[in-house]
Amino acid sequence: MTARRNRLDPATLAAQALGTVDAETGAVVPPMHSSTTFARGADYRLVGDHLYSRDSGPTVRRAEEIVAALDGGADARLFASGMAAFAALLEALPEGAHVLAPKSMYYAAQDWLIRQAWRGRIELDLFDQTRPEALSAALRPGRTALVWIETPANPTWDVVDIALAAEAAHSAGARLAVDSTCAPPPTTRPLELGADIVFHSATKYLNGHSDLTAGALIPARDDELWAQIHKIRTATGGVLGGFEAWLLIRGMRTLHVRFARQSETALALARHLERHPRVVEVLYPGLARHPGHAIARRQMTGGFGGMLSILLDGDVESARRVAASTRVFVPATSLGGVESLIEHRRSVESPQSPVPDTLIRISVGLEAPGDLIDDLDQALAAA
């Protein structure tokens, strides 16, 4: 089976969940195991590979194998949320480790980094991800343990050169971890570009149906840091549940077709909004005028994603009114689902966030592109 998998495209592996037909029943949908404990035989050895669900379970392990195959990793671990995965990675670092992270990134993760630095658990520096030289300048050779990047960066969609970041991090003796939530495996595989760990908020594109919360870590190597991450997940109980893992498997089976459609529609919306008189700027790496477009073309080989932001001509109140005036877009947090979402991002970010007051974040779903364009036009006119 392993040799067969190695010859197949990741899209095929995802669609067939690494082998669709259940050997025991012939079912074409992978079974869901909800058991929290697993029996021993007459010799008191475990009947299968699992002891207790806080450590692992059959459905969770199947989902992890799919995630690892999609990203080309040595292994994968799923967590009950993206933040649980992120916290486990930080916990696995040595006490007082120096961490580099971008100034523009998912605000909850940045808040957690700042909290850990305030407690003395890590040393933290934030670099300007829009300046390629800023990461290298902030490194402390021999002291920096982890470089964290997010590309495209939420919600400004700045693009970071993963290969360049990996080269810089490794030259200082650090590991590179990449938040690839908004550039999932159909378009970007950071491990192939030199990253050491890939992170996904699996709540988003990997699942794609807005009905579960999950996080994933995928390593390039099965090493001591990876062993520590597994121990931390077991000890703290941050594992994903069996039903949620089954939902995630279901979602990943359509990942490639969903992402392609969302990328295509997002590009159409971005090009339309570029010409709108109320829009000052469209932030989308698929546009030729985007400052990170050349890098995005190199490392986002399967589309530029379904996320974009717009800066409006107006003030904070008019921006909120636009987000509240849509009829097809749902005004809600999150991204990557089949339904299109719109959000005035400043209203939900932390107080120290650098997000502009007039930034509107858009997550493109699977609706008809014309309906989405018409809806944005009427919301912009109404506000």
Can you state the angle between helices 58-71 and 242-252, rounded to 10 degrees? 30
Q: What is the pLDDT of residue 170?
A: 98
Given 5, 54, 140, 271, which residue is catalytic?
Answer: 54
Question: What are the φ/ψ torsions at residue 328 (nearest 5 degrees)?
Answer: -105, -50
Q: What is the pLDDT of residue 1?
A: 40
- The residue out of 217, 234, 252 marking a domain boundary is 252
Q: Are residues 195 and 67 in the same domain?
A: yes
Question: What are the φ/ψ torsions at residue 178 (nearest 5 degrees)?
Answer: -120, 120
Q: Burial level of 150, CB count in 10 A (0-12/13-18/19+)?
A: buried
Given 71, 158, 161, 179, which residue is catalytic?
Answer: 179
Q: What is the pLDDT of residues 59-105, one digit of tens each?
A: 999 999 999 999 999 999 999 999 999 999 999 999 999 999 999 89
Q: Are residues 272 and 337 in the same domain?
A: yes
- Closest listed residue to residue 238, CA positions, set 116, 91, 350: 91
DSSP state of 240: P
**Cα four-point dihedral sign 52, 58, 63, 64:** positive
Q: What is the pLDDT of residue 52?
A: 82
Q: What is the pLDDT of residue 3?
A: 43
Given 62, 175, 204, 233, which residue is catalytic?
Answer: 204
Q: What is the pLDDT of residues 221-258, one digit of tens each?
A: 999 999 999 999 999 999 999 999 999 999 999 999 99
Q: Distance of CA 314 to CAs 277, 280, 321, 344, 345, Å?
A: 11, 9, 11, 13, 15
161 flagged as catalytic: no
Domains: count for the chain: 2
Q: Are residues 134 and 242 in the same domain?
A: yes
- The residue out of 211, 230, 252 marking a domain boundary is 252
Q: Are residues 242 and 277 in the same domain?
A: no
pTM for the predicted model, two decimal places: 0.94
Domain holding 311: CATH number?
Answer: 3.90.1150.10
Range of 194's domain?
2-252
Q: Are residues 286 and 318 in the same domain?
A: yes
Terminal C-alpha separation, the chain: 57
Name residues whose C-beta falls within 8 Å of residue 136's C-beta, 6 or more positions apart in sequence.
168
Q: What is the pLDDT of residue 53?
A: 81
Q: What is the pLDDT of residue 5?
A: 56
E-assigned strand segments in 257-365: 279-283, 307-312, 330-331, 341-344, 359-363
> Which residues is 146 bridged to in the sheet?
99, 175
Q: Are residues 280 and 330 in the same domain?
A: yes
Q: Are residues 78 and 200 in the same domain?
A: yes
**Cα four-point dihedral sign 248, 250, 253, 257:** negative
Q: Are residues 208 and 339 in the same domain?
A: no
DSSP calls for 75-104: --EEESSHHHHHHHHHHTSPTTEEEEEESS
Give pLDDT tens digits along the chain (383 positions). Answer: 444 456 789 999 999 988 778 888 888 888 888 888 888 888 989 888 887 888 889 999 999 999 999 999 999 999 999 999 999 999 999 999 999 999 989 999 999 999 999 999 999 999 999 998 999 999 999 999 999 999 999 999 999 999 999 999 999 999 999 999 999 999 999 999 999 999 999 999 999 999 999 999 999 999 999 999 999 999 999 999 999 999 999 999 999 999 999 999 999 999 999 999 999 999 999 999 999 999 999 999 999 999 999 999 989 999 999 999 999 999 999 999 999 999 999 888 877 778 899 999 999 999 999 999 999 999 999 87
3-class SS at 338? coil
Token pair of 203 as six digits: 């709540």
Domain holding 148: CATH number?
Answer: 3.40.640.10
Q: Are residues 136 and 240 in the same domain?
A: yes
54 flagged as catalytic: yes
- The residue out of 226, 252, 278 marking a domain boundary is 252
211 flagged as catalytic: no
3-class SS at 217? strand
Q: Are residues 247 and 272 in the same domain?
A: no
179 flagged as catalytic: yes
Q: Are residues 236 and 302 in the same domain?
A: no
Q: Are residues 98 and 188 in the same domain?
A: yes
Stated length of the chain: 383
DSSP calls for 135-157: HHHH--TTTEEEEEEESSBTTTT
E-assigned strand segments in 103-236: 122-127, 144-150, 175-179, 197-200, 215-219
Q: What is the pLDDT of residue 370?
A: 98
